[in-house]
């Protein structure tokens, strides 16, 4: 369960148009909500817009594959990814 101190809504920037390829992402969000995570996500049509939303504080975290845009921004951004077989 998510603790009371973490009850703040997490704002997620989705750096691509929602599609069936993102099914695992939405399943994970559903499971997180059942465990008490409050969130809202916004889909951005452009990776640059998603990155700018995170950098400006409008969004808390970004999800997608905007590697080139992140490199161009020269901002202190961390990339988290999963490697699976």
The 3-state secondary structure of 34-49 reads HCCCCEEEEECCCHHH
* pTM strictly above 0.85: no
Give me the residues paired with residue 14 across strands.
43, 63
- Number of C-alpha atoms within 13 angstroms, CB side, residue 2? 15
Name the CATH topology of 4-73.
Answer: D-Maltodextrin-Binding Protein; domain 2 (3.40.190)
What is the per-residue pLDDT across 47-82, written as a single tens digit (0 to 9) for each? 888 888 988 999 999 887 666 666 677 777 776 666
Where exactly are the structural domains of the chain?
4-73
């Amino acid at each position: 369960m998510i603790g009371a101190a973490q009850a703040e809504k997490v704002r997620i920037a989705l750096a691509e148009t929602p599609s069936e390829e993102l099914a695992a992402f939405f399943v994970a969000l559903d499971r997180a909500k059942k465990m008490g995570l409050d969130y809202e996500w916004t889909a951005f049509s452009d990776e640059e817009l998603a990155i700018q939303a995170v950098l400006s504080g409008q969004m808390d975290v970004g999800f997608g594959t905007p590697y080139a845009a992140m490199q161009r921004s020269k901002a202190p951004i961390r990339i988290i990814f999963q490697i699976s077989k």
